[in-house]
Chains A and B, each alone.
Chain A
Amino acid sequence: MRPPTDPEQPFTEPWHAELFATTHALARAGAFTWADWTETFVEALADDAAAGGATDGSTYYEVWLGALERFLVARGLAGSAALDELKQAWTDAYLTTPHGAPVELDAGRVTGAIS
């Protein structure tokens, strides 16, 4: 196997990889077309640039994340309250799980958030 041409990693943060892969997996599963998603993402990048966002690409995945949240809500694939609740559930899970133990969500809160 040939080594990479330079030491730059494909993803600088694990969540960049999660976000990239989740978006691709959703499109592949038919939740939306890539072209539809791109349209939303292009607008978000243009808005960010117009608002004086970073020009060096450093906030690219932050813009992607905000655009995906809005896109999923607009398409009726996710509720914003459910996303907020699940984010809080993950936060609580990290804060209450002892270091070294697997971090797991409270199943009741997951059910509550999506119902």
Chain B
Amino acid sequence: MSSISGTNKSSRWSAVRKEIGRAGGALLISLIVTFVIVLLTSKDPLGAFEQLLTQLPQKTRTFGYWIDDVAKLTITGLAFSLVFQARQFSMGVQGQVYIGALAATYVALSPLGASWAGIPLGIAAAMLAGAVYGFLPGIAKAKLGANEIVSSLMLNYVAIELCNFLVRTNLPKPQAGVLTTNDFPDSAVFPMLVDKTRIDLGLILAIVAVLVVWFAVYRTSWGLKLRLVGHNARFAEYSGIKSTFIMVSAMTASGALGGLLGSMFVQGQTYGKLTVLFEGNLAFEGILVAIVARSRPLAVPIVALFYGYLRQGAQLMNIRTDVPAEVIGVVTAIIILLVSSSYSLAFLKRLFRRGVATAPTPAAAAGAAK
């Protein structure tokens, strides 16, 4: 996932160009596949694609949906980037979101939530809860050797069921039987930044998070150790780095980001309350964002901008045409498959000639963009 960037500036730029080319190529291929699917299934394929690709910035309201989605995608992308940098495939962001949201909800619905402390305390509680939830699979892996992929996936379901249970039984509800809590007091809901949109404090939190994660990974000794461990854990261990400590701390920090995302969901303008299954599988979209951004914190928001556009464009297409929004899952899957593999046009050609599979040359990979 990670790579230690060379000092040579021109080589770094050519690497960046190569990555952009591969990502753009993957996006193009996935859009073509989606277009073929829409063409085969829709009565008005061109209209559907117009909705998907051009309508989002036309209205302030839909523009707000986009930016709100970008903020959330950025946070989940950062959370996955941190663990991928350490080469840990912890998939626990979803669970951290639910646990963080629960913590934020308990703060917001307590007397503290009605005071000025509602927002900062809610965020802090959510991040703390998320950090603990990220720490658990980390420590289980470091001390006991438990596979972090399986344990973090299990913790996701535990968190979802816990959230369902507490919403149904314990948390105050407007009426019996509904699976949502009371609305939070205004002092616990993030203020709007742009009037009559969903753009709220979450956007600022996302920008701050990008800068903090970038600084931590590229400008601190912890970050250097993190990248070394991700690159070659054994080498890092030999050079005196406590690789287990680095792994666990990366997973804990990633958990704090997941918890923050939980607070952004329930305290944001979109909800302002806790609803069961509020997260709608957004957390796992961070995998795509992190992979395409090559786990670079500064690239994460850029990828999130593009991907959020597609996601929200798909929602518009869903409402206004006969194409369901879920078709975007095809785009996501194809992009992940292509970007995480060593695909290139030259490779595809060779494949059709049934040639021998070898790693493609960098030049061939760069050619994939065209």
A and B found bound together? no
Chain A positions within 8 Å of B, measured between CB atoms, are none
